[in-house]
Amino acid sequence: MTQCEKIIAALRASGSQGITSRDMINMNIFKYSSRIAELRRRGWVIKAHRVRGNLYRYTLKSRPSQSALQAPVFIVHPVQSRLIEVEQKPRHRWF
């Protein structure tokens, strides 16, 4: 299970209560902000609410549309500074 899949599963299980940045660290996801950004680029609507200091609570508002799931994903090549298409894995049943 990828880190993004773990985050989505935890967000779905928590419902409107959401999960905190500390919860993600406890799941051994230390670059959680990068994973949240990746999920948002894929079309997931995830809201962040600052609890205090560096502690945030994340809640899942909606899943991506079917067209967003099939759209190609591009990233900037770190050396050549050009866009390259990322090969996407087959979607799991909750996507």
- 3-state SS, residue 50: strand
Instruction: Tell me what pLDDT residue 28 has.
Output: 95
Quick check: pTM over 0.85?
no
Q: Is the pLDDT confidence value at 76 over 70? A: no
Q: Using 50, 70 and 90 to split pLDDT, how confident is the model at 69?
A: low
Q: Using 50, 70 and 90 to split pLDDT, how confident is the model at 95?
A: very low
- The pLDDT tens digits of the residues spanning 1-53 come to 899 999 999 999 999 999 999 999 999 999 999 999 999 988 899 999 999 99
Q: Which helix (H) or strand (E) holds 4?
A: helix 3-14
For 25-56, b/e burial (b = at least 16 CB within 10 A) is: eeeebeebeebbebbeebbbebeeeeeeeeeb
Q: Which helix (H) or strand (E) holds 25?
A: helix 21-26
